[in-house]
Every structure is written in C-alpha cells, then in structure tokens.
C-alpha cells in the first residue's frame, strides 16, 4: 500500500474537462477506427456472407460487457479504470496479470492503427511516387522497410496529439469523430446502389465456411477489435465532469450507434463484391485477404463499380482511411498510457509512470513507453491482418474481470453508492463473463499460442518486481523463483508451437501447465498471508486461460481437419468451463484495502468530493 499512498491524490491531478458528449465521442472515435476499413474484408474471408450474424452477436456480447463496466465505472470513476478495478476486488497479483494483458492489447492497438494508415495509403503513394510501402502475399499485405519507417512517423503523430493535453484532445477528437461517423454512413449508402443479392446466396451459399466460422470471425477478423473502443468511456471516466452519468452514456451509447453502422457496412460490402476485380476465383472467400482489394477494401469496392460519383467519393474515403485509424490510434495511445499510470498507482510499475505533466495534465512518460513498444511490434507483425487476432485476444483477457468485480463489490460493499445499478445482474454478469471467455476461445489455437506465451510472462515479472516491493514475499527468494520460471517458460515456448515445434502439443501443454502450477505453488509458499490470499484470488484466470488453450487445440478452431471436439460441442465445453471460472472468480474476490480506500475517497479525494 505504500506505493498507492505515495500517489493517493494522483487522480485528482488529471483535469476533469470531458463532457458527456466528449466522452461519448471518445468511445465512438475509438470504435470507428481501422476496424470498419479492413474488417469487412477480413471477416468476409473467414465466414462469407454469414459474417453479418457475427457483427450482431458481437454487438450484443460487448453491450453486456459494457453494462457490467457501467456500474463499476460510475461507482468508482478512475482514469485507466479497466486495468485498475481488478486490483480492488482480487488484489495485486490478478491486477498485475490482467493489466499486463491490457497493456499488450493497448500497445498493439496503437500499432495496428498506424499499420492501417500506411496500408490504405500504400496504393496511391506507389502511384504518385513509385515508393513501395507494402508487399502482397497469399496471407495479406506486409510492410516494406520504407513502410515501417512511415508507420513510425504516424505513431509520432499520435504522440504529439496526446501531449497537447486532455482539454484539446477532447475537443479535437469530437470534430474528428463527427467526420468518422459521416464517412462510413455515406459509404454504405453509396455501395447499396450497386447491391448484388446473388453474393449472399451463390458462391457457396450464405455460410460457405460453416457456422463455426461465424464465431471464429468474431475474434480473429477485427470484429471484436472494432467494438473494443467502448472501454474508453471507462478508462477516461476519471476525467469526466460528471462520471456517474457520463460513463454509462459513453459505454452503452457508443456500442449501439456503431453496431448499426458496422452491420450495414458489411451488408453493403458483400453486396458490392466484384469477384473479377478482386483477382480471386468467385466463391474463394478465404482468398480475399490476399486479393487485390486487401489493402483498400471499401475504396476498391467503390472504384470497381465504374460509376463516376462512387469513384469521386473514393477520394474522401482515402482521406478518412488516414483520419479514422489515426483518430483511434491517438486515443489508444492515451488510453494505454493511462493503463501504465493505473499500474504505477498500484505499485506494478515504477513511480515515474504515475507522474502527470504540470502543463499538459497527461501521463507523458507512459506515452513515451507506449510509443516505443508499439513501434517494436512492427517487426514480428508487419501488417494489419497479421496482428489483429493477437491484439483482440490479449485485451479480451482483461475483460474477464468485468462481471466478477461487479458481483464482488455487491457482496463486500453492498451499501456503497451506485449511481448506475445494473438490474438483472444475476443473469447479465454470467453472460458478460461468458462473452469475454467465449471470444477468447473463438480466437482459435493459433492466436492463443501467442496470447498464452506473452500474457503469462506477467507471472515471473510479478515475482521479480511488484510482489517483493509491496512486501508480499522476500526479495531474494522471489527473484530466484521469478528468474528460473522465466527461463523455463521462454525455453518451453521455443521448443513448442511458437518455436521449433519439437514437442507434441499434449506434452508441450502439460509441461507448460506444470511450470505454471509449480511456480504458483512455490510463490504461495514464500508469500505472506496477504500475498497468499491474492494468489488464491487469481488462480481462476490462469486456469481458464490454460484450459481454453487445451480445448482450442482439439476443437473446431484447432489444426486438425477432423477435430476431436467438432463445432458446436467444443463451444459448449468452453462455455461450461467459463461458467465454472465465473463462479470461482466471484467467490475468490474480497474487500481489499485499495477498495476501501477508493470508496472512502483516500485514493481520489477530488473524485470523492465530486461524487
């Protein structure tokens, strides 16, 4: 708690200048980013015309998640709140694990928006200058060396916008968001003028890849990624003028508005699909990601019509292809910096990340860190289609805490003021948890390889840094344990599917699970009573992640052509495991010292007075 008290008034230093409308537009601006520009093609490549159903399902799932966050966010408004709330109900160990996952998702989101700007610009930049920014392959576009340099410049632009401070940021983003709303609406209206209904029934029928692919598309093609901007209403809630009202409006309202736009865009895109222009055989849905349309899907759809008006509007679409991803990118850069800020308040990161600039009123050091880390992801993931599944799934792990933390707070602080009270939470909370856990499962085995490998790196980092600093365990023993586990974990991933693949998967999984179990047990033995309580409160999240990874290999989204658990039985098993984990998570939560401090106003004096 020492670190927390060092910064107990840090939230009050953040300027509370955001109105309800500005907070709503921050969420809308985050949602309407690169997702609508690329996901219509990548989602269609996964599931064909039936992907329309995936958009509707995702909107419902995200709305349920948003409702769970709306109660917590209005009850305890905090900047970077989504990363901070798990600390309040389950302690520092789970808080660090989930905020680490959130950090990975946030940093890669900033990177993916920069990638989107460069990839959409690649066509006309090459035409005008002859400089190649991307190269085309069977699995989509990748950045050239020059393209990576341009992407870094775009990232620097995101940084500069944020450094001007939250007041300018909120007002500027509101105008950008109006633009970002108008262009997609005009796009689907114009594409409806060349609508071809045969694209929905021919070429393999409405669901050419099967209904299992519909759920896979939710997680890996950019659909859930597109909706993730709902969280900005929570993360920027500490800077709202009236958090109790404004957070609910921003989270739920943004999802509802954008869902209508996305569904109509997807319908219009499929109806306007000209197979001859794409360069792939009619009905080869999976080939779309490597097609001529891959870099500029909606612009290519407009151009292929040969209609002058649609072609002229394509110029505005190209302009928006820079504005929409950029608008989302600079929001997520600020959001991810606030994740670091929240982690620093809880002792999970060095104190410097909780420093707020006296003039700009933003956590500037976190922005520098996010800028550097985001640029680093251009090396292993040099393209939008390559990074999208990983980005979505790492963030979704953090959302697992939304429903349990609401129910824990209901149990341990039943009399605390709740400006927004979620009715029917006994139903909506389990559904909200299942929304997150099933999206994680539907991301599939290949994506989960990278997610499990990188997210669980948080475990040894906790032992090496946060745990000893907060007096949860002795420094020497924790350092040795963390270092040994880190070496073993990395070595196992190298000989596993992400590396040489020299171990059969089942042997690899059991080895990985044994390492996690052994590390957790030894960490528990050397911890203080409070440290042991925090470890017990986090076991559900680690166990669920590992078990879903195992099921994904043998399920419909694994490598086998004839899986041991075909769809929908694999999803039924995953859902049952999710329900077990939900009730485990709710039962393991408790009234932490940080939660009591937050409700008493000690963590945020100004917030308590305003509340």
So what's the pLDDT on residue 2?
Answer: 39
Length of the chain: 611
* Rounded average pLDDT over 110-134: 86
> 3-class secondary structure for 90-144?
HCHHHHHHHHHHHHHHHHHHHHHHHHHHHHHHHHHHHHHHCCCCEEEECCEEEEC
Closest CA to 401 of 98, 107, 91, 103: 98
Local structure of residue 131 (DSSP, 8 states): -
Ramachandran angles phi, psi of 24, nearest 5°: -60, -45
Predicted TM-score (pTM) of the model is 0.86
Q: Can you read off the two tokens belonging to residue 117? A: 């700007």
Q: Per-residue confidence at 512, pLDDT binned at 50, 70, 90?
A: very high
What is the spatial distance between Cα 539 and Cα 513, in angstroms, rounded to a whole number? 12
Mean pLDDT of all residues in 362-371: 82
Q: Is the pLDDT of residue 127 over 50?
A: yes
Higher-confidence residue of 606 and 307: namely 307
pLDDT of res. 502: 79
Q: In 10 A of CB 88, how many CB atoms?
A: 30
Q: Give the tens place of pLDDT for each residue, 517-526.
A: 999 999 999 9
Instruction: Tell me how far apart the alpha carbons of residues 234 and 229 are, in angstroms, rounded to a whole number.
Output: 10
**pLDDT tens per residue, range 268-297:** 999 999 999 999 999 999 999 888 898 889
Helices (H), 236-283: 243-271, 275-278
- Please check the confidence at residue 483 and state whether its pLDDT lies above 60: yes
pLDDT confidence of residue 44: 94
What whole-number distance in Å separates Cα of residue 502 and Cα of residue 494?
A: 9
Per-residue pLDDT for 608 more than 80? no
Region of poorest pLDDT, from 175-189, 318-332, 408-422, 580-594: 318-332
Look up residue 601 and give its DSSP letter. Answer: T
3-state secondary structure (DSSP) of residue 534: helix
pLDDT in tens, 141-156: 788 889 889 999 999 8
Which pLDDT value is given to residue 87?
A: 92
d(CA 205, CA 249): 39
**Average pLDDT of every residue of the chain:** 86
Closest CA to 393 of 92, 158, 125, 104: 104
Instruction: Read off the pLDDT of residues 13-68 as tens digits, 9 standing for 90 and up.
Output: 444 567 777 788 878 877 887 888 899 999 999 999 999 999 999 999 998 998 89
Give 351 or 544, the one with higher predicted confidence: 544
Q: Are 256 and 56 in contact (CB under 8 A)?
A: no
Q: What is the pLDDT of residue 603?
A: 44
pLDDT digits (tens, 9 = 90+) for 210-243: 999 999 999 988 899 889 878 777 766 666 677 6
C-alpha span between 422 and 142 (Å, rounded)? 44
Q: What is the pLDDT of residue 137?
A: 64
Task: Report the candidate in 539, 432, 584, 480 with the shortest Cα–Cα distance to residue 68.
Answer: 432
R_g of the chain, CA atoms, integer Å: 23
């Amino acid at each position: 708690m020492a670190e927390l008290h060092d910064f107990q008034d840090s939230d009050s230093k953040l300027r509370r200048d955001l109105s309800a409308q500005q907070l709503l537009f921050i969420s809308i601006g985050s949602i309407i980013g690169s997702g609508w520009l690329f996901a219509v093609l990548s989602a269609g490549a996964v599931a064909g015309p039936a992907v329309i159903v995936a958009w509707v399902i995702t909107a419902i799932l995200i709305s349920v998640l948003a409702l769970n966050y709306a109660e917590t966010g209005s009850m305890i408004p905090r900047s970077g709140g989504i990363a901070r709330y798990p600390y309040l109900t389950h302690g520092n160990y789970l808080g660090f694990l989930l905020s680490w996952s959130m950090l990975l998702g946030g940093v890669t989101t900033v990177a993916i928006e920069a990638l989107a700007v460069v990839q959409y610009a690649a066509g006309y930049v090459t035409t005008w200058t002859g400089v190649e920014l991307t190269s085309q392959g069977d699995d989509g576009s990748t950045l050239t060396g020059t393209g990576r340099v341009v992407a870094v410049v775009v990232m620097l632009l995101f940084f500069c916008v944020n450094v001007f401070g939250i007041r300018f940021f909120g007002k500027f983003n509101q105008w950008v968001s109006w633009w970002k709303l108008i262009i997609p609406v005009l796009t689907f209206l114009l594409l409806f003028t060349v609508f071809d209904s045969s694209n929905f029934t021919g070429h393999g029928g409405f669901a050419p890849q099967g209904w299992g692919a519909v759920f896979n598309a939710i997680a890996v093609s950019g659909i859930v990624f597109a909706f993730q901007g709902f969280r900005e209403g929570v993360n920027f809630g500490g800077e709202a003028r009236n958090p109790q009202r404004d957070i609910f409006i921003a989270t739920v309202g943004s999802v509802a508005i954008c869902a209508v736009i996305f569904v109509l865009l997807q319908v219009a895109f499929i109806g306007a699909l000209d197979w001859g222009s794409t360069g792939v055989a009619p009905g080869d849905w999976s080939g779309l990601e490597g097609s001529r349309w891959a870099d500029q899907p909606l612009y290519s759809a407009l151009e292929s019509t040969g209609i002058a008006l649609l072609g002229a509007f394509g110029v505005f679409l190209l302009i928006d292809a820079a504005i929409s991803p950029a608008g989302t990118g600079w929001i997520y850069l600020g959001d991810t910096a606030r994740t670091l800020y929240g982690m620093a308040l809880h002792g999970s990161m060095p104190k410097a990340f909780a420093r707020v600039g006296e003039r700009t009123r933003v956590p500037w050091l976190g922005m520098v860190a996010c800028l550097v880390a985001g640029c680093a992801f251009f090396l292993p993931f040099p393209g939008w289609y390559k990074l999208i599944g990983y980005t979505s799934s790492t963030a979704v792990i953090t959302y697992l805490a939304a429903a349990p933390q609401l129910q824990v707070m209901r149990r341990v602080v039943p009399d605390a003021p709740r400006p927004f009270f979620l009715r029917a939470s006994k139903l909506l909370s389990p559904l909200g948890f299942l929304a997150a856990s099933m999206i994680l499962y539907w991301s599939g085995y290949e994506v989960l390889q990278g997610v499990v490998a990188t997210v669980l790196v948080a475990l040894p980092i906790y032992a090496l840094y946060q745990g000893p600093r907060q007096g949860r365990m002795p420094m020497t023993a924790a350092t040795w344990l963390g270092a040994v586990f880190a070496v073993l974990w990395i070595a196992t991933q190298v000989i596993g599917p992400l590396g040489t693949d020299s171990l059969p998967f089942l042997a690899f999984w059991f080895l990985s699970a044994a390492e996690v179990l052994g590390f957790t047990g030894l960490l528990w033995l050397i911890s203080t009573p409070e440290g042991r309580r925090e470890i017990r409160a986090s076991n559900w999240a680690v166990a669920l992640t590992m078990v879903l990874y195992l099921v994904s290999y043998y399920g419909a989204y694994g490598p086998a052509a004839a899986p041991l658990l075909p769809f929908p039985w694999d999803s039924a098993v995953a859902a049952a495991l999710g329900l077990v984990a939900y009730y485990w998570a709710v039962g393991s939560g408790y009234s932490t010292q940080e939660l009591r401090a937050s409700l008493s106003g000690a963590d945020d004096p100004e917030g308590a007075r305003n509340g």
